[in-house]
Structure 1
Amino acid sequence: MDARVLLDSLDAGVAAIAPDWTVAEWSFAAARITGLPADRVLGQNFWVAFPTARGAHVERILHDVLQDGIARSFVSPGRAPELAGKALETRVSRGPRSHLILEFREARSELSPESRAAQILTAFETERRLYRQLFESLPSPVLILTLDGQILEANREGSALLGLPDPRAARGQALSAWLPAMQHQSLAAALRDAIRRPQRLALAIDFAGEPAREVVAMLTRVDPDQADKVLFLALDVSREALLQQKLLRADRMAQLGQLVSGVAHELNNPLSAIAGFAEILAADAATPELRESAEIIHLEAMRAGQVVQTLLDFARHRLQTRQPVDLQDVVERVVALQRSGLRKAQAKAVLQFPEDLPEVMGDPQELQQVLLNAVLNAQQAVASAGRPGTITIGARLTDGHVTLLVEDTGPGVAPEILDRIFEPFFTTKGPDGTGLGLAISLGIVKAMGGRLYMHNIEGGGARLGIELPVGAPGAGPTPEPQAGFHPAARSLSVLVVEDENSVRRGFTLMAKRLGHLVTVASSYAEARDLLDAPNARYDAVVVDVHLDEAHTGFELFEQLLQEGRGRELRVVFTTGDSLSAQTRDALQRSERPVLRKPFKLDELREILERVAGG
């Protein structure tokens, strides 16, 4: 009969171990009894295939048999799931060519389930499986090492730390293979000293295709009674640092949201007054020069209001509305605004736009904000070079997108920080920078369906690319309001409830300039008195959301609603705060129109006529 057939026909499992501790034979019964198939054992180092045998009484028995040739037996727990709680009796003898022959069979069948020995074995196996489960489920990387640094066992996190797909792939390998040469001696010393007392060791785990991971490891002996195995418990501090950075960034973003929410109202109120007075001055200007000055004041106040709105949108990641925009017109306006700054920086602006460049989809105010930030950065780069330079702004059409390029002749961006320039709060300008300019620009461009990128130019300088989708064919940009004064269609009786004097005065002058009869109230109590007066009748009631510390505009609206006379339908809310969740929810419930500060005369006229007509 064939020797292999004979071997596999035995009820007992048979294994042969070569002098170099390689498993040379593994019978069918051996695979069944241990739960380890032949392809996982044959050719493997015995101590790698059975790491728990190392340092135990099994190792001593195997060495004794190999040395004196006297057969010996021992009892050990079975590994296969169906053998849980059962014991294996193994006989070890020395065969030809100094091979060790292991013959093992189940010993549990000889024990009564009620016997004390069977109960001890069951308890032992239960505890073993519990510790095994704990080892494998630990959320931190854990290795079992020999004193020379060979890996006997690894949990799933441990193999992941080493870049291995399976914990079994780590068995038998040297941990030093993942360490730089300069740390080999430190690891050897820590393994040696861990037998006497726990050791703390900082290491750099490195494997192909990944950046090195900084870990802090605790090394201690596994068994107080045995001095040949060390527990290696690691903390991936590089991952912990990354998580801390993400948490810190998220916390700073939350603080930014709270800050913007708190100051938006305080900024938009004076901006509303400035814009209102400037628009009235422009409408009634006696000379062209005065009209131009007033229009510039009005334009800049509205742009400042848009900056506040952009910060609000950035903090809450709200998608923006889009429309066709003439990109060259936006660039020309930005360059005109920065003419003085460019001169001080000794930077010459050169515009290169093809005549047939199509419009892009976006928001003109927000695109102006993106372009302004880009030009300011380029301007500062040229100034830092200490010599006259050039800022070239050009555009080209490629694959349904318009790519706008802003190039400067400054020193460029350090290569090691190129991948961080769009991170919120990252700045190279020290205390003079906020680290928000490019981060906000990135959010704006992405919301428009575009792309923002930066790279250095060979020979010096940097190039910022802004890629935006082309506008719909035949669509034109939203027409700007025509210059000049447009009175209301009919005179209305308007009640303005606003606690800030300058804003209240601006409201009054703007409404009167439209031809309306205006009554003002500076507080909630004053507004109630005017509304409760006999024969009080108003075509529109303009109420600020935030009146004073004790009352809001919503309280006034609720009282009008409870009257049941329909006067709540005449309410128009004004606000400079569009971030507060409480404000947004209250505005949605009221279903009333909102006039956001700062606003234009045409916007005020349109909303008053709409409310009075309703």
Structure 2
Amino acid sequence: MKILNVDDNEGARYAKTRMLQHAGFTVFEAASGEEALRLTAGERPDLVLLDVKLPDIDGLEVCRRIKLDPATAPTIVVQISATFVEGVDRVRALEGGADAYLTEPVQPDEFLATVRAMVRLRRAEEELRRARDSLEQRVRERTIELEQANAALRREMAERSRLEQDLQRQREALYRSERLATMGVLLANVAHELNNPLTVVQLQIDQLAEEARDRDLQPRITELRHAAARCLQVVQHFLALARRSEPQRTPVHLNTVVTEALQLLAHVLKINNIVVHQHLADDMPLLDADPVQLHQVVLNLLINAQQAFPESSPSRQVTITTGYDAAHSRLVLEVADTGPGIPAGIREHIFQPFFTTKPPGIGTGLGLPLCRSIVESHGGSIRVSSQRGQGTIFRIELPIQPTGVPMQLTPAPAAASPPPTEGAAILVVEDEAAVALALAAALRRDDHRVDTAANGRQALQRLQEQDYDLILCDMRMPELDGPGLFRAVATHQPHLLSRFIFLTGDTLSPESQGFLQRSGCLHLAKPFTAADSRRIVRQALQAQR
């Protein structure tokens, strides 16, 4: 423990130094205030024994300066005086920063006891400071640990939230995929079920047209044909939605697609008081595209516009515009409406499957996703621009072939029918009785001998009893279907295999497609007309000769 003994009286200074040294303290001396300040700053004593009366700077000022300096402020100052011994002097010293005040003469025991008390105070303060510093260090370290743990926890929570979001998106994607798959199966089944009655309708219309002698019936028959054609288009759209397949490209005139779509929806638009404005550009290049899929796109956009109008909307107008961007070799189709517009928060979701703001039973949320899928499969793009209260514009851009030039679409010459071949024995294998009867009636008008069977098992019995020139066989039947009958015949009567013509409305099934390719047989897709059935029968009979 180091003590600085400051006294201008050499004898008094010597006496105090000797007592302190005998008590075990390290002592160094100063005879003036300036020297005391210099040694205090340099040696950093633990305690300064400071005489009040000094020749240059009095002890009170020296004490004040020591306590003002942050570096020396912790130093214990014990002031001592033989001159200033009044209570007021003691008060002045203590208020000036002194830690203790002694008056001389002072007894050696009292002197050393005071010094030792101040030393204990100094040590207690040191221990308290060290404890405080240690505690502050521990607090800092713990704070850093907590901050690191908190940051790690935040990262873990963010990662967990991201994983949960990813999982939720995967679940939603799986759910949408399952719904799309279910929708595809449903639409395929609906299309198949519609194909049979549509086949009956078309065959009966053909029979009625051939047998009707009253000319007044012909316009009605024509109306029936148009109605059946509209039903057929609906079935084709169902299949297009269910297939989600690659486009079956062929030269297409975009204006023709638009016109046909408007014709199909003319009645719906009319009863909803929607005025349609057409701005179809002349001399449009042909587009290498799937006409059925493009027809579906235009239909969906028109239906979407029709359903966007609120019941009280005073202005119900839809404008369809086509154009040719020669600089970028692209055709442009715009469908604009004067409806209420699409809010910004909804626009970013409208192309997501099953997202819809329409009431239950009005929309499925599949129309616009299908549009985007079809457009993108053609290498094009679809964008939407809309403002609340100012309507909506859907803009589609489709690339054309680089060599495309403006030209008129001319109808291809009709395929020549094979020469008539009458009097053949034909077996119609069809589980739908109405289809079987209508088809048999159509074939009998060509003088063919026609028998029917309701399934493959009945057909096998017929084939064992009689030889047939042709076998018109449905693909899907109870008990024994078309492929099953074909395999059974291959085992027992292989010479009949080349006489099969398959009737199918199930072109979606990869198994059915694979079977038809492997068999090499002719096939006729439902729904078909009497002319279609006669043409393929004549073709098959002609091939046998």
What residue is the counterpart of 1:527 in the other structure?
459
* Structure 2 residue 476 is the aligned partner of structure 1 residue 546: yes
TM alignment of 1:291-440, pairs within 5 A: 291-314=221-244, 318-384=245-311, 386-398=313-325, 399-432=328-361, 433-440=363-370
Who is 1:489 aligned against?
420
Q: Quick one: which of 238, 241, 247 aligns to 2:174?
A: 247
**Does the CA contact (< 8 Å) of 1:553 and 1:573 recur in 2?**
yes
Superimposed CA distance per residue, residues 305-362 of structure 1 (whole angstroms, 9 cap, x where no aligned partner)? 2123213312xxx212111112222222222232222222221111101221222222
Give yes or no for contact 1:385–1:410 (8 Å, CA) kept in 2. Answer: no
SS for the counterpart of 1:566 is helix
Say if 1:482 and 1:390 are closer, same or farther in 2 by CA, change over 3 A: farther
Q: Contact 1:282–1:290 (CA<8 Å) still a contact in 2? A: no
Pick closer, same or farther for the CA change 1:514–1:324 going to 2, 3 Å.
farther
Partner of 2:468: 537
- Quick check: 1:559 aligned with 2:488? yes
Q: Is the 8 A contact 2:354 2:365 kept in 1?
A: yes
2:464 counterpart letter in structure 1: D
Verify the 8 A CA contact 1:488 1:514 in the aligned structure 2.
no
Cα contact 2:339–2:389 (8 A) shared by 1: no
Where 2:309 maps in the other structure, the secondary structure is: helix
Shift of the alpha carbon at 1:458?
7.9
Partner of 1:501: 433
Larger-Rg structure: 2
Asked which structure has the greater RCO (Cα within 8 Å, sep 6+), the reply is 2
The structure carrying a bigger strand percent of its residues is: 1
2: CA distance between counterparts of 1:602 and 1:478?
23
CA distance in 1, matches of 2:299, 2:476: 32
**CA distance in structure 1 between the partners assigned to 2:375 and 2:497 by the alignment:** 40
The structural deviation recorded for 1:297 is: 2.2
Task: Kindly state the Cα deviation for residue 515 of structure 1 after the two structures are TM-superposed.
Answer: 6.0
Distance 1:480 1:301, change over 3 A: farther
Equivalent position SS for 1:572: strand
How far apart are the structure 1 equivalents of 2:292 and 2:170?
36
Structure 1 residues 581, 323: closer, same or farther in 2, change over 3 A?
closer
Is residue 2:442 matched to residue 1:445? Answer: no
Gaps of 5+ in 2: 1-126, 132-141
Aligned-pair CA distance for 1:487 = 8.3
Distance of 1:406 and 1:282 partners within structure 2? 40
Cα distance between partner residues in 1 of 2:220 and 2:506: 32
2:501 is aligned, of 544, 548, 572, to: 572
Aligned partners of 1:381 and 1:481: how far apart in 2? 42
How far did residue 248 of structure 1 move?
1.6
Q: Contact 1:305/1:598 (CA < 8 Å) preserved in 2?
A: no
The answer to whether the 8 A contact 1:427-1:435 is kept is yes
Note the 1:45-444 alignment, pairs <5 A. Answer: 67=130, 149-151=146-148, 215=161, 236-282=163-209, 286-287=215-216, 288-314=218-244, 318-384=245-311, 386-398=313-325, 399-432=328-361, 433-444=363-374
**In structure 2, what residue type is equivalent to 1:372?**
L
C-alpha distance in 2 between matches for 1:296 and 1:481: 22
Alignment partners' CA distance in 2, 1:545 and 1:418? 45
Normalised to the residue count of structure 2, the TM-score between the two structures is 0.65
CA–CA distance in structure 2, aligned partners of residues 329 and 376 of structure 1: 18
- Please tell me whether the aligned partners of residues 494 and 518 of structure 1 are also in contact (alpha carbons under 8 angstroms): yes
Query: Taking structure 1 as reference, are residues 515 and 325 closer, same or farther at Cα in structure 2, changes over 3 Å only?
Result: farther
Unaligned runs of 5+ in 1: 1-63, 69-144, 162-202, 206-212, 216-234
Q: Which amino acid aligns with 1:326?
A: H
Deviation for aligned residue 1:462: 0.7
* Alignment pair present for 1:468 and 2:465: no
Per-residue Cα deviation, 1:535-567 (whole angstroms, up to 9, x for no partner): x231x211111121x211112111221235421
Q: Contact 1:512/1:518 (CA < 8 Å) preserved in 2?
A: yes
Instruction: For 1:423 and 1:282, locate their aligned partners in 2 and report how far apart those are by CA, in whole Å.
Output: 47
CA–CA separation in structure 1 for the residues paired with 2:165 and 2:298? 37
Distance 1:510 1:411, change over 3 A: farther
SS of 1:150's equivalent?
A: helix
Amino acid across the alignment from 1:357 = M
Identity fraction in percent: 30
Of stretches 525-534 and 424-433 in structure 1, the one that deviates more from structure 2 is 525-534
Deviation at 1:301, TM superposition (A): 2.8
Query: Could you tell me how far 1:516 is from its partner in structure 2?
Result: 4.3
Q: Secondary structure at the match of 2:521?
A: coil
The structural deviation recorded for 1:488 is 5.4
Q: What is the deviation of 1:413?
A: 1.4
Q: Which has the higher helix share?
A: 2
SS across alignment from 1:151:
helix
2:427–2:468 CA contact under 8 A, matched in 1: no
